[in-house]
């Protein structure tokens, strides 16, 4: 059998100097002949370092070192699909490796969906989830497009809550980061011909993270890619299919080697209209109008994108979802991007065909305003009039 690792070497495990008791009673997930979840009693558990136990000051130092890299936490949620496609018998297991046979559909044909959402810690110690129902809905839409059954929205949200609470000691303190929640839907059943898997796994793991890019609201420098494309009409650019991301790694690696933070992709038909960055949606500001590429099958319907649009309209901005040409970048007052990982981030400059435009003179006022409004809701610092947050006590 082929062993697929979801864990990391001891050298990459970040250890923290604090301790909370993990739940004593866990409902264990089921296994099947197509993949098992072996006992992890012999594995090294992610526990606080003895060298740093004792002081809150040393604990703060450990949180300060968080980057956007995986940290081995305590538990993950796992469930298998039943014969009727339901996912009702899931539960928590110790975080560790999973096994898949080499003929698993996700390994051979990429039949898989990922999601991403976050949990924050409030000053009073309670934990906030941001719009988990939207992620559950998006997973269902992606699963339908790729011929997979999916958990109901209620099952999805319940699984997220269980996983976060079981790993609550890994939620960073306020303003130190957040708990990144990564649900996976995988076709783990065996196939040889091009056909949907006979069995599927729904799995959630979590990891504490800091900023996706270095700095908090530090502007990023972006290059427009006009040869490679992220998505095509009729494809799967509007869902979080696992294969969507491998195809853009080459452009991203090239961009970073040339000193850019990320890549902005154009449409594949006209090679003129903006679509999105590698993992974020794009917004272009001119006066009181904020324009963003329309959803049409090639742009991911970001949940942060949706939230920013609603906040901006509530603050009096005119928001247009339409075709946005690359030429408009050179006349814009301000450009920013949004996504689960980056939240809302200003774009300091964009380079297209060797021509660079800088937006520093704008002082990124609109981006700062929308970022503050969104973060205040996510962190529970203001009344959630939108009804977007779920508080876990």
Query: What are the DSSP calls for 210-231, one per residue?
Result: --SSSSSSPPEEEEEESSS-S-
Rounded to an integer, what distance in angstroms lies between the CA atom of residue 14 and that of residue 121?
19
Angle between helical axes of 303-314 and 365-378 (0-180°, round to 10): 110
Query: What are the DSSP calls for 99-157, one per residue?
Result: EE-TTBHHHHT--EEE--EEEEE-TTS-EEEE-HHHHHHHHHHHHHHTT-----HHHHH
Rounded to an integer, what distance in angstroms lies between the CA atom of residue 90 and that of residue 150?
13
CB count within 10 Å of CB 52 equals 16
Is 355 known to be catalytic? no
Positive or negative torsion for Cα 251, 13, 62, 74: positive
Rounded to an integer, what distance in angstroms lies between the CA atom of residue 69 and that of residue 48?
18
Q: Which of 80, 122, 240, 254 is catalytic?
A: 240
Rounded to an integer, what distance in angstroms lies between the CA atom of residue 301 and that of residue 231?
13
Where in the sequence numbering do the catalytic residues fall? 240
């Amino acid at each position: 059998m082929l062993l697929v690792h979801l864990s990391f070497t001891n050298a990459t495990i970040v250890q923290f100097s604090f301790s909370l008791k993990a739940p004593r009673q866990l409902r264990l997930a089921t296994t099947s002949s197509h993949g098992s979840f072996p006992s992890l009693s012999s594995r090294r558990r992610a526990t606080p370092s003895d060298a740093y136990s004792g002081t809150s000051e040393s604990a703060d130092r450990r949180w300060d070192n968080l980057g956007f890299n995986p940290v081995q936490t305590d538990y993950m949620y796992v469930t298998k699909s039943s014969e009727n496609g339901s996912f009702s018998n899931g539960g928590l297991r110790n975080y560790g490796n999973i096994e898949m046979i080499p003929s698993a559909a996700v390994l051979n044909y990429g039949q898989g969906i990922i999601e991403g959402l976050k949990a924050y810690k409030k000053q009073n110690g309670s934990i906030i989830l941001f719009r988990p129902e939207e992620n559950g809905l998006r997973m269902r839409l992606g699963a339908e497009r790729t011929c997979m059954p999916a958990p109901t929205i209620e099952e999805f949200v319940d699984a997220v809550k269980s996983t976060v609470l079981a790993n609550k000691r890994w939620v960073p303190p306020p303003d130190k980061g957040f708990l990144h929640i990564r649900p996976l839907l995988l076709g783990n059943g065996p196939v040889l011909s091009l056909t949907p898997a006979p069995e599927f796994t729904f799995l959630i793991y979590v990891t504490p993270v800091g900023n996706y890019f270095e700095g908090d609201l530090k502007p990023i420098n972006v290059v427009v890619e006009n040869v490679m494309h992220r998505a095509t009409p009729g494809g799967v650019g509007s869902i979080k299919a696992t294969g969507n991301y491998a195809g853009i790694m080459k452009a991203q690696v090239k961009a970073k080697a040339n000193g850019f933070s990320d890549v902005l992709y154009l449409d594949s038909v006209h090679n003129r209209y903006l679509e999105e960055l590698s993992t974020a949606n794009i917004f272009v500001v001119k006066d009181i109008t904020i324009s963003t590429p329309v959803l049409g099958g090639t742009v991911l319907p970001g949940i942060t994108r949706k939230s920013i649009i609603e906040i901006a309209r509530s603050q009096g901005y005119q928001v247009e979802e339409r075709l946005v040409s690359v030429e408009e970048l050179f006349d814009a007052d301000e450009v920013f991007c949004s996504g689960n990982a980056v939240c809302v981030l200003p774009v300091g400059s964009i380079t297209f065909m060797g021509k660079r435009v800088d937006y520093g003179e704008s002082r990124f006022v609109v981006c700062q305003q929308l970022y503050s409004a969104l973060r205040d809701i996510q962190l529970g610092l203001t009344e959630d009039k939108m009804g977007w947050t779920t508080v876990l006590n």
